[in-house]
Chain A
Amino acid sequence: MSLTKTTTVDQITVTENGIVLYREATRIIEDGNEISKTYHRSSLVPEQDLTGVPDSVVAICNTAWTDEVKSAYRAMIEANQAKLGA
């Protein structure tokens, strides 16, 4: 009997306003059969520090976060805060 544990980024989603959502799947494999799978999700907003983020996700962020996307996201945040009096 052999047990292996793997963690991979199995899903990356870019929202309309540039937020990058990604999911890491951790699988426990016994003799080639998956006996357990758990998910851990994270999100990244435009211009966020990408230290420690998986390479495949960083590549998506660098592509998705154009100057236009960054500016639009900043404007959205400022508009939301103004609306709520923050």
Chain B
Amino acid sequence: MAVPYTFATATSAIPLSQLDSNFATAITLGSTALTLGTTTTTVAGLTLTGAILNGTVGATTPTTGAFTTVGASGLITSTVGNSGTILRGSTATNSYIYPVYVTNTSGGVQLALEGATSGNVLVGGTAYATVLTTTTNTPVEIGINTTRVGSFSSTGLSMVQSIGVGNTTPSSSGAGISFPATQSASSDANTLDDYEEGTWTPIVGVGFTGVTYSSQHGWYTKVGRSVVISGRVNFSGTANFNNISITNMPFTMATLGGGAYGGGGIPYADYPAITNTSPYVGGGNASVQYYSLGTGSAIASGVNASGNWISFIVTIAT
């Protein structure tokens, strides 16, 4: 087709492909509106000054300044500010996406709030709206600082390290559930609300006099209201043994209805009086007493326990 030299007198549409092939220099259209048809056209090295993307597709009246610049880094920036909308759904208000950045790197789409300390990146329209999902049965991955920290899958939540409950900072070592340092007690019978492990120092409260120790060791683990407590002492000197009681336990046995008590067993003892004996923790007490099985009487012996070991492990409820 013949290319009109003066566009103003053109009476029919001019394919851009003809412009590409016939003009080696830049084209200035001035204030004349340029309408592109449905033909796919490649324009290389296009530079526009002023409002470069102005208005919406269709017959709607353009909104001046909705998009003004495309920076050298590829960012599309809205001049409206942090509340400006760059991408918007067609109807519902909640279909707005409010990011300042919408970038595509390595095939992925990143949504972010720039400089904001709060705000919703994605908001569902109803209580159970799906706001983040995959379209196949593959996990939704979660990352921090570009490092994977966990994922949601159809079978549950998987975390690389720990989970903190009660607003607890998860432990940085190992993997597990981190509970608050101080128990946040739940009244629900099916809720695990506490975990703690530590040490304590067994001390002979009554029974012996003139007690000296070669070693004193105690460990405990509390899971919910149950506490497993173990202790072991080695005497370097004792005298006047009678009705031994080991005190300074880390927790007290709860005072429950029916005279509840805690107890357990004796892993090792080489003291002659500790025979057929059971450790016992009465309600409201923080001490272990030794009673003979069968007779129920407190054990008693006048034998010096110097050099002997006495140990126990009990389970109590708090």
Q: Does B198 touch A at the CB level, under 8 Å?
A: yes
Instruction: Kindly report which residue of chain A lies nearest to residue B292, judged by CB atoms.
Output: A85
Q: Does A1 touch B at the CB level, under 8 Å?
A: no
Q: Does B284 touch A at the CB level, under 8 Å?
A: yes
B200 touches A40 (CB 8 A): yes
Partner of B284, one of A11, A17, A41, A44: A17
Q: Does A59 touch B at the CB level, under 8 Å?
A: no
- Min CB distance A46 to B, Å, is 11
Partner of A41, one of B200, B205, B255, B280: B200
B198 touches A39 (CB 8 A): yes
Q: Does A16 touch B at the CB level, under 8 Å?
A: yes
Inter-chain CA distance A44–B251, complex, in Å, is 10
A39 touches B199 (CB 8 A): yes
Known: A21-B252, A35-B172, A84-B296. A42 touches B280 (CB 8 A): no
Prevailing SS type, chain B contact patch: loop
A43 touches B297 (CB 8 A): no
Chain A residues with CB below 8 A from B286, complex form: 19, 21, 43, 45
Chain A residues with CB below 8 A from B280, complex form: 84
B251 touches A41 (CB 8 A): yes
Q: Does A3 touch B at the CB level, under 8 Å?
A: no
A39 touches B196 (CB 8 A): yes
Which among B181, B198, B289 has the greatest number of chain A C-beta atoms within 10 A? Answer: B198
Chain A residues with CB below 8 A from B252, complex form: 15, 17, 19, 21, 43
Q: Does A10 touch B at the CB level, under 8 Å?
A: yes
Q: Interface digits, A40-54 against B, CB 8 Å rule (1 contact, 0 not)?
A: 111111000000000
Residues of chain A at interface, number, CB under 8 A: 26
Contact count A vs B, C-beta below 8 Å: 76
Known: A11-B182, A39-B196, A41-B198. A21 touches B296 (CB 8 A): no
B248 touches A23 (CB 8 A): no
Q: Does B243 touch A at the CB level, under 8 Å?
A: yes
Q: Does A6 touch B at the CB level, under 8 Å?
A: no
Q: Interface digits, A1-13 against B, CB 8 Å rule (1 contact, 0 not)?
A: 0000000001100
Contact count band on B: 20 to 34
B289 touches A21 (CB 8 A): no
Inter-chain CA distance A85–B181, complex, in Å, is 40
Chain B residues with CB below 8 A from A38, complex form: 198-199
Instruction: Kindly report which residue of chain B lies nearest to residue A18, judged by CB atoms.
Output: B284
Chain A residues with CB below 8 A from B251, complex form: 21, 41, 43
- Min CB distance A42 to B, Å, is 5
Inter-chain CA distance A42–B202, complex, in Å, is 9
A84 touches B250 (CB 8 A): no
Chain B residues with CB below 8 A from A23, complex form: 198, 250
Q: Does B150 touch A at the CB level, under 8 Å?
A: no
- Min CB distance B103 to A, Å, is 33
Chain A residues with CB below 8 A from B287, complex form: 45
Give the B-binding residues of A (Cβ under 8 A): 10-11, 15-17, 19, 21, 23, 25, 35-36, 38-45, 76, 80-81, 83-86
19 more A-B residue pairs beyond the given contacts A36-B173, A42-B200, A42-B248, with a C-beta to C-beta distance below 8 A: A11-B182, A16-B255, A19-B252, A19-B284, A19-B286, A23-B198, A35-B173, A39-B196, A39-B198, A40-B198, A43-B247, A43-B248, A43-B250, A45-B247, A83-B259, A84-B296, A85-B297, A85-B298, A86-B298
A-B contact pairs, 16 of them (CB 8 A): A10-B181, A19-B285, A39-B197, A40-B198, A41-B250, A41-B251, A42-B250, A43-B252, A43-B286, A83-B259, A84-B280, A84-B282, A84-B289, A86-B289, A86-B291, A86-B297
Give the A-binding residues of B (Cβ under 8 A): 172-173, 181-182, 196-201, 205, 220, 243, 247-252, 255, 259, 280, 282, 284-287, 289, 291, 296-298
